[in-house]
Amino acid sequence: MKLNPEPFEQIKAGTKTAEIRLYDEKRRLINVGDEIIFRKLPELNETIKTKVTGLTISSDFTNLFTLVTPVLGGWNPTDTSIMASSDMGKYYSKDDEYKFGVLAIHIKLI
């Protein structure tokens, strides 16, 4: 999976332990125990290897962030679930959010 520099560095540092995505066809193939290699944008030449330790699936981001603390996804401890949900709107449309559902992929570095 491709990641912007900030979340990539957070995972690398161990401070981000959940990657938030749409629960689209590609993500429906992810299972606990799978390995995911993240590639740092824009060059994609730096990678980190992780293992999936859990999956949290929800109908939308607002509900997801009642199940998963936003700090696990890389937000600041002072950021609310509403702020985290709103931030995800920068990446995904409401139509896609409700069409596919959403997912927190819980990971650990390996």
Q: Give the C-alpha separation, 58 to 66, whole Å.
A: 10
Domain 2-109: homologous superfamily in CATH: Hypothetical protein. (2.30.130.30)
Q: Please tell me the predicted confidence (pLDDT) of residue 96.
A: 97
Give pTM, 2 decimals.
Answer: 0.95
Dihedral sign of CA atoms 23, 21, 55, 79 in order = negative
**Which pair of structure tokens corresponds to residue 53?**
């330790």
Q: What is the pLDDT of residue 105?
A: 98
Q: Please report the pLDDT score of residue 104 as a whole number.
A: 98
Average pLDDT over residues 47-73: 97
Q: pLDDT tens for residues 18-45?
A: 999 999 999 999 999 999 999 999 999 9
Indicate the burial class of 76 (C-beta count within 10 angstroms; 0-12, 13-18, 19 or more): exposed
Mean pLDDT for the stretch of residues 46-63: 98
